[in-house]
């Protein structure tokens, strides 16, 4: 099996000033073309460290993918270091220079000397045109191994990979077939899930592996089948899915790249129904999850973020007496919020959340993490109380996911 | 200087099924106590690979921090592998067992055999109590080097580090003083920034280093000073900040961990003023940025997400004639949205965004990425047109950040 190492270069990653999302995306894409990532590494903008990791990676892997260190500024040294590693020199690539010049003309921005130098690449590499930015992609070959250098800007890297480098890698290497099938579960902990499906897991055929991937109240079950015949692998994996489903079916909300927001969106769209939101403690995050899905305007009409009680009353029609008697964080209030937004924005369903996200604002009776959620529809309103932790952002994300799952269960009559 | 390597263990990271946010957080914290991360690595749940990276890291670094692979399920082998590496055996730690038992009793959940086994640790390690989950922390020492193993669940790892491990590391190692100062800029590209401050950068003293960290329309300038006297380093760094500020002051919105949402929040709170939002294309993301800040309820009253024109009219008072004449994505509409929400929700300021987030819905006249933003206040309304790219989530994030910056400039009269 073709083995890959992914290397990110930059002090900003080592020092922790930015989140590296590139390597996750890269290894996912590599997996999908049957290339196995065996290691990921990050080193700083330091020539010695870069030369060392390149040599190590070359000794272990067949393809080495490098991101970062290609910026126009002084602290980016990847190109220079690649020249040292491959014992060659930089020279201006005319195609790159023409593109960069056009890039700046198109945007009506002056081109600096630093930008011009971005058109320089090592003499022994194949220049990979970057139509999304000013840093070039580079492809090196040595002793049947491939080295790829890409800019660290995620959307530039992703476009280079998708349009040029992944097809080029598929053409270069002969790879076995790997087939992944993911079951997305929600509302059951990893160890309870494991206990419930232990017998099934123990009886999986040796070429099908199972992994548990827990994240925010969800656990993804990933089946990975390896072989030579894709159709056969799909059949065998599907057979295993059908064996395990009866054990966990209420918890399975989707497959593969399904997210809870895409699943509920699909159902609403199919039914020609609409959705609105009334958010207090989640402060817009639930609406963001819904609307980051392209095409969500087909079923999402809008929402009201009612951070203050005045707005709960004026915009959602929550009764002052309800707030006085039961408080903003109560089943009664969240029901009136959900039904209020559904009526006010004239949608088929209305969902609402009200709670104490923390870290402050808790009481003995209602500690931080006490959250009520509700989903109102044509056949009535369902509610759920969540007792979460002390971490504000985590509470916001959990609540939005559980709220969308509450809607999913109402939509499906579960 | 004490050198650290951070190792994450788990197929889920290698295969790209989850984002690793732990290593970023860990290396930031290490930097702050004067420990330099020299490398980050990820390997799979594979004994050979884990043994190999442990030996490599031990040869390079003084402290090796390991996360992941401590879950209750069959695919987690870190503890077993640490026993092999240190040539010892697992045995149940009574303190750990007592805690885990109490953990499940408290939650009224049955405890499984798998959970019981989580109380087992290698005989040669110091058990580090994890009060936030069921996987133990472990501290190993060999030849003056330290190995730390922690669960991969971020909030468990962060609590173990903050409450126990970082203080323990500071006590164990003698470290030089490192002082970081970050300038947060917005609205100027990396290479233009670099050109503008090139002379200043060239004249920085050798013990103060500069790095450019671009991200979503922002560029962070990080000054890193190394020495022995913290107060001296702070003085010298501040002197450099005061030299560079006049060159870029409109672009500097804050320092260190300031985010645009915390900066505008601080100003509003100091002035006792309030804010509301009217979001179309950003779909709640701007409100989420505002409300993920603890204490934002002091100045954020709420918002209206007007995805449909009906809601722009009914809830925000946008004139049907405006929508008919200029369209939803226009300066006129976004002005009426901002002024409408300000009036409707009775806040000092109202901010609004309307645009085509993409990937679909563009026209020749208004291509994908055409976005209008507005900020309405007591002294009038300011607007800005953005021409962004084709990537939906990126457009949403850029727009929210630029919208908050438009508000910042209005608040400060810039």
Assigned token pair, B80: 């077993």
Provide the CB-side half-sphere exposure for B246 (13 A, CA).
5
CB B279 within 8 A of CB B411: no
CB B133 within 8 A of CB B98: no
Count of helices and strands (H, E) across chain A: 17, 17
Question: Measured between beta carbons, which residues in chain A are less than 8 angstroms from residue B31?
Answer: 15-16
Check pLDDT > 70 for residue B408. Answer: yes
Out of A17, A21, A302, whose CB is closest to B307?
A: A302
pLDDT for B74 equals: 66
Q: Find tokens 């002969």 and name the residue.
A: A174
Average pLDDT over residues B214-234: 88
Binding-face residues of B in 65-124 toward A, CB within 8 A? 71-75, 112, 114-115
Long-range CB pairs of B319-328 (<8 Å, 24+ gap) are B327/B366, B328/B280, B328/B354
Q: Is the peptide bond before A359 cis (omega within 30 degrees of 0)?
A: yes
User: How buried is B127 (Cβ within 10 angstroms: 0-12 exposed, 13-18 middle, 19+ buried)?
Assistant: middle
Assigned token pair, B236: 């010298």
Question: Measured between beta carbons, which residues in chain A are less than 8 angstroms from residue B282?
Answer: 291
CB A339 within 8 A of CB A376: yes
Question: Measured between beta carbons, which residues in chain B are less than 8 angstroms from residue A194?
Answer: 72-74, 114
Task: Tell me the Ramachandran region of residue B34: left when phi exceeds 0, alpha when psi lies from -120 to 50, beta otherwise.
Answer: left
B110: confidence class by pLDDT, cuts 50, 70, 90: confident
Residue of B nearest to A390 (CA): B155
* B63-67/B145-150 β-pairing: parallel
Out of B21, B40, B294, whose CB is closest to A42?
A: B40
Cβ count near A158 (within 10 Å): 18
Out of A28, A297, A310, whose CB is closest to B16?
A: A28
Residue of A nearest to B109 (CA): A192
**A117-128: burial string, b at 16+ Cβ within 10 Å, e else:** ebbbbbeebebb
Return averaged pLDDT per consecutive 10 residues of chain A, 414 residues in all.
Answer: 93 78 90 89 93 96 94 80 95 92 83 87 94 90 96 92 93 83 91 93 95 84 89 96 93 93 97 98 98 96 95 96 96 98 97 94 91 97 93 93 96 92
Is B48 in the A-facing interface, judged by CB distances under 8 Å?
Answer: no
> Residue B73 contacts by C-beta under 8 Å, 6 or more apart in sequence?
A190, A191, A194, A212, B114
Mutate: best of B15, B133, B280, partner A, most A CBs <10 A: B15
Is A275 in the B-facing interface, judged by CB distances under 8 Å?
Answer: no
Is A333 in the B-facing interface, judged by CB distances under 8 Å?
Answer: no
How long is chain B? 414
User: Rounded to 5 degrees, what are φ and ψ at B346?
Assistant: 55, 50
Residue of A nearest to B134 (CA): A191
Mutate: best of B191, B204, B357, B398, partner A, most A CBs <10 A: B191
Assigned token pair, B387: 């021409």
Contact A302 B302 (CB under 8 A): no
> Of B337, B264, B338, which Cα lies nearest the Cα of B300?
B264
Q: Find tokens 């420990």 and name the residue.
A: B35
Residue of A nearest to B341 (CA): A304
The answer, yes or no, to whether ipTM is higher than 0.90 is no
User: Rounded to 5 degrees, what are φ and ψ at B6?
Assistant: -115, 125
Q: Hey, which bits of B201-299 come out as E strands?
A: 208-215, 218-227, 252-255, 275-279
DSSP at A162: I
Is A162 in the B-facing interface, judged by CB distances under 8 Å?
Answer: no
* B208-215/B177-186 β-pairing: unpaired
CB A148 within 8 A of CB A121: no
Question: How many Cβ pairs closer than 8 A exist between chain A and B?
Answer: 285
Out of B42, B279, B288, whose CB is closest to A285?
A: B288
User: CA of B111 to nearest chain A CA: how many angstroms apart?
Assistant: 9
Q: Hey, which bits of B110-204 come out as E strands?
A: 120-122, 126-128, 137-142, 145-150, 177-186
User: What predicted TM-score, i.e. pTM, was given to this entire model?
Assistant: 0.75
Question: Measured between beta carbons, which residues in chain B are less than 8 angstroms from residue A291?
Answer: 282-285, 305, 307, 396
What is the distance between the alpha carbons of residues B156 and B224, in angstroms, rounded to a whole number? 29
User: Rounded to 5 degrees, what are φ and ψ at B77?
Assistant: -125, 15
User: CA of B27 to nearest chain A CA: how many angstroms apart?
Assistant: 5
Average pLDDT taken over every residue of chain B: 92
Out of B212, B302, B315, whose CB is closest to A73?
A: B212
> Residue A31 contacts by C-beta under 8 Å, 6 or more apart in sequence?
A37, A178, A180, B15, B16
User: CA of A7 to nearest chain B CA: how many angstroms apart?
Assistant: 9
List, as one string, the DSSP characters of A156-211: HHHHHIIIIIHHHHHHHS---EEEEEEEEEESS-HHHHHHHTHHHHHTS-TTEEEE
**Per DSSP, what are the bridge partners of residue A302?**
A276, B306
E strand or H helix at B172, and its extent? helix B166-172
User: CA of A283 to nearest chain B CA: how many angstroms apart?
Assistant: 5
Check pLDDT > 90 for residue B232. Answer: yes
Contact B291 A311 (CB under 8 A): no
pLDDT for A174 equals: 77
- Fold agreement (B177-255, B260-412): no
Contact A16 B37 (CB under 8 A): yes
Question: Measured between beta carbons, which residues in chain A are less than 8 angstroms from residue B156?
Answer: none
Region B3-172: CATH code: 3.40.980.10
What is the distance between the alpha carbons of residues B185 and B213, in angstroms, rounded to a whole number? 10
CA A61 to chain centre: 26
Q: Output helix, strand, coil percentages for chain B, rounded to the nearest 5.
A: 45, 25, 30
Question: Measured between beta carbons, which residues in chain B are less than 8 angstroms from residue A29?
Answer: 16
The SS3 assignment for A21 reads coil
Stronger pLDDT, B81 or A133, i.e. the higher one: B81
Contact B302 A315 (CB under 8 A): yes
Neighbour order of strands in the sheet with B137-142: A126-128, A137-142, A145-150, A63-67, A3-9, A36-43, B36-43, B3-9, B63-67, B145-150, B137-142, B126-128
User: CA of A108 to nearest chain B CA: how many angstroms apart?
Assistant: 13
Sorted by where each begins, the domain ranges of chain A are 3-172, 177-255, 260-412
Superfamily grouping for domain B260-412: CinA-like (3.90.950.20)
Question: Measured between beta carbons, which residues in chain A are less than 8 angstroms from residue B288?
Answer: 283-285, 288, 396
Is B332 in the A-facing interface, judged by CB distances under 8 Å?
Answer: no
pLDDT for A74 equals: 65
The SS3 assignment for B124 reads coil
Helix spans in A274-350 (H): 285-291, 309-316, 320-326, 331-344
Assigned token pair, B163: 């409450």
Question: Measured between beta carbons, which residues in chain B are less than 8 angstroms from residue A18?
Answer: 24, 213, 215
Q: Is the peptide bond before A129 cis (omega within 30 degrees of 0)?
A: no
pLDDT digits (tens, 9 = 90+) for B361-407: 889 999 999 999 999 999 999 999 999 988 899 999 999 999 999 99
Is B298 in the A-facing interface, judged by CB distances under 8 Å?
Answer: no
Cα-Cα-Cα-Cα dihedral sign, residues A248, A249, A253, A254: positive
Question: In terms of CATH architecture, what is B177-255?
Answer: 2-Layer Sandwich (3.30)
Contact B303 A305 (CB under 8 A): yes
């Amino acid at each position: 099996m073709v083995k890959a190492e992914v290397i990110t270069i930059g002090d900003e990653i080592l020092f922790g000033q930015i989140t590296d999302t590139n390597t996750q995306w890269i290894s996912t894409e590599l997996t999908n073309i049957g290339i196995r990532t065996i290691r990921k590494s990050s080193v700083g903008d330091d020539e010695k460290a870069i030369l060392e990791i390149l040599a190590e990676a070359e000794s272990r892997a067949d393809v080495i993918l490098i991101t970062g260190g290609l910026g126009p500024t002084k602290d980016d040294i990847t190109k220079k270091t690649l020249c040292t590693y491959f014992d060659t020199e930089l020279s201006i690539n005319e195609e790159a220079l023409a593109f960069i010049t056009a890039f700046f003309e198109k945007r009506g921005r002056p081109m600096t000397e630093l930008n011009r130098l971005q058109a320089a690449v090592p003499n022994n590499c194949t220049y990979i045109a970057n139509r999304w930015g000013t840093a070039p992609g580079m492809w090196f070959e040595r002793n049947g191994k491939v080295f790829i250098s890409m800019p660290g800007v995620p959307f530039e890297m992703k476009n280079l990979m998708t349009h040029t480098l992944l097809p080029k890698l598929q053409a270069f290497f002969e790879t076995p077939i790997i087939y992944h099938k993911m079951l997305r579960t929600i509302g059951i902990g990893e160890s309870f899930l494991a206990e419930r499906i232990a017998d099934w897991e123990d009886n999986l055929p040796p070429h099908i592996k199972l992994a548990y991937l827990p994240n925010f109240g969800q656990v993804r079950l990933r089946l990975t089948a390896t072989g030579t015949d894709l159709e056969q692998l799909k059949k065998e994996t599907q057979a295993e899915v059908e064996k395990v489903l009866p054990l966990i079916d209420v918890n399975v909300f989707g497959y593969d790249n399904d997210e809870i927001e895409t699943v509920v969106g699909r159902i609403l769209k199919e039914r020609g129904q609409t959705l609105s939101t009334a958010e207090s403690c989640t402060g817009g995050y639930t609406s963001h999850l819904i609307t980051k899905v392209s095409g969500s305007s087909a079923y999402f009409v809008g929402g009201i973020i009612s951070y203050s009680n005045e707005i709960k009353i004026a915009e959602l029609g929550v009764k002052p007496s309800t707030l006085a008697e039961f408080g903003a964080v109560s089943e009664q209030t969240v029901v009136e919020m959900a039904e209020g937004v559904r009526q006010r924005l004239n949608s088929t369903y209305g969902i609402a959340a009200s709670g104490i996200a923390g870290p402050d604002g808790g009481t003995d009776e209602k500690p931080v993490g006490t959250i009520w959620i509700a989903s109102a529809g044509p056949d009535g309103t369902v509610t759920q109380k969540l007792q979460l932790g002390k971490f504000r952002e985590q509470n916001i994300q959990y609540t939005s996911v559980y709220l969308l799952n509450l809607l999913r269960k109402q939509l499906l009559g579960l």
